[in-house]
Amino acid sequence: MAAERICRRCLLREMDGSYFDSIYKYIESIPQEQKASRDEYALRLAKCKGCAYLQNGMCAQCGCFVEVRAAKAKMKCPRGFWEAEGKNESEGVS
């Protein structure tokens, strides 16, 4: 029997199982005016995918689920790889 490979640098949506369904339900429930645009969300996740701190869908720097953090317009990356959408740096929430 082959050992199951764990994907360390994957987003939650790339992992097997329905364990994280509640995370996606939460993202869907975020009011539209508080969400990042689709393009910004995709850009943020692409940057997270290339980050050494991404581990099993979570940021090892701050402990967040990166897909949740990236979905919120006012959030920014704790490592500075992306900023709050539509805000200057001093207005972003870390």
Residue 73: name the closest of 42, 40, 47, 48 by CA: 40
Say how far apart CA 92 and CA 94 lie, in whole Å. 6
Per-residue pLDDT at 76 exceeds 60 = yes
pTM here is 0.75
pLDDT digits (tens, 9 = 90+) for 5-21: 566 667 777 766 676 78
C-alpha–C-alpha distance, residues 89 and 9, integer Å: 27
Lowest mean pLDDT among 7-16, 37-46, 68-77: 7-16
Q: How confident is the model at residue 29 (pLDDT cuts 50, 70, 90)?
A: very high
